Amino acid sequence: MHFLTWLKAFKPLALHIAPREALRATCGAFFAIMLVMLVSRMLIGPSTTIALLGALGASSVLIFLTSSTPLAHPWSLLSGNLLAATLAITASHWIDDSLLRLGVTLASCMLCLLALRCLHPPSCALAVAISLNEGLTQQWGYGLLGPVALNTLLLLGMALVYNNLTGQRYPRQPLPVQRNRHLTSDLPSWQRTRLQEQDLQQALHEFGRYVDVRIEDLVELLQLTEQQAFSRMSSNLTAASIMSRDVVTAGPQMSIEFAWAMLAKHKLEALPVVDGQRKLVGIVTLVDFLNQKSFARMPRRRWNLSRGSRRRPLERIMTSPVVSAREDTCILELVLLLSRHSLHHLPVVDDDQQVIGIISQTDLINALYRLLVQRCHVSSVAA
């Protein structure tokens, strides 16, 4: 039984590569290796070119098809090839026995590539090819580093140009750090409860084996997986089911004084601003009033509108354009919109941009609580 299970592990693994991406990478590798061979054959000669080209073909697979992995990073490609060639040439000068020379070259190459964080498997193949070709090292010596550098730079240049022109960022840039809008050291609220990079680093440390993927990419992938799972479980909970429909709105020409009175009367913190067709054109919140210095301090520690700002139209202080949602926006997207934009209210509009509702943080918390209660009930019944 254990033997059959072990045999099943040999079945082909799914690569999850879209046909369009496979075609893009194949074309890139074709053009790159052709360019390297043409230039190298003219400048270096056919015999040396053929001896070095096998490893570059393997490099092409990595940098065009799996360009987001650490093994395909530009540092790994360039430093790995130069370091491997240096070690192979050095071993050829000092070790006569071909078998011992091959073993020493490969082992030292792997250790050095790991130590310098430039692990690139084709570099080890390049070291083996140079180590076994005694005529090549006798002819060139350390001067062979020149052809290796030329070929590698040509291949790297093609990868940089082709990948970025065809929509594949290379090298992959780390995600920008989201600064806290309150200028404190805390992470933004929407990131605090998500999977963090340090969580994954600890998991990989306990896993104990090499994983050929950037930690940043793995974190992003797992976060997207979390979102997809949550979206699937809450697909029936949308903006239409939690929004307030009787929305108090204001017009862009309404005076600030009257708008402030409306906020006080209805005990609101935000007013969507609409035009004559009820199309959303802006929104005003308590923060907008304060930011525009429209207030004067009163003796009894109360805030009131300053005289000069009372008659100004609301369009002078409203926020525009407005982040909004649609009726069918799922609760996951609502959470992301409110948290990522640091919003407290989210207007809901139809296809004509007319305001049909508004969602507050309180509405969202109640909806999430309802979802949690439902999941707990389902789990208890299933148990």
Share of the chain above pLDDT 70, in %: 81
Residue 197 has pLDDT above 80, yes or no: no
φ/ψ region of 244 (left if φ > 0, alpha if ψ in -120 to 50, else beta) reads beta
On whether the CB atoms of residues 273 and 280 are closer than 8 A, the answer is yes
239-277 CB burial, b ≥16 within 10 A, e <16: beebbeeebebbbbebbbbebbebbeeeebebbbbbeee
Q: Minimum mean pLDDT among 154-158, 314-318, 365-369: which range?
A: 365-369
Q: Minimum mean pLDDT among 2-11, 16-25, 157-166: which range?
A: 2-11
What letter represents residue 367's amino acid?
A
State the average pLDDT over residues 157-167: 95
Q: Give me 303's structure tokens.
A: 């805030």
Q: Minimum mean pLDDT among 5-9, 78-82, 248-252: which range?
A: 5-9
pLDDT in tens, 245-283: 999 999 999 988 888 889 889 988 899 999 988 899 999
d(CA 41, CA 288): 68
Mean pLDDT of the chain: 83
Under DSSP, the state recorded for 284 is E
- Backbone φ, ψ for residue 305 (5° rounding): -65, 135
Residue 299 has pLDDT above 50, yes or no: no
Q: How many CB atoms lie within 10 A of CB 73?
A: 23
Residue 298 has pLDDT above 50, yes or no: no
145: Cβ contacts below 8 Å, ≥ 6 apart: 82, 85, 86, 89
Q: Which domains does the chain have, with CATH numbers?
A: 17-165 (no CATH), 214-243+324-383 (3.90.1280.20), 247-322 (3.10.580.10)
Supply the pLDDT for residue 301: 40
71: Cβ contacts below 8 Å, ≥ 6 apart: 62, 119, 120, 121, 212
User: 208 vs 61, which has greater pLDDT?
Assistant: 61
Please calculate the CA angle 320-366-334 and round it to the nearest 5 degrees: 35
pTM: 0.62
pLDDT in tens, 206-225: 777 766 677 777 777 777 77
pLDDT in tens, 308-361: 555 688 888 888 899 999 998 888 888 888 888 888 899 999 999 999 999 998
158 pLDDT tier (thresholds 50, 70, 90): very high
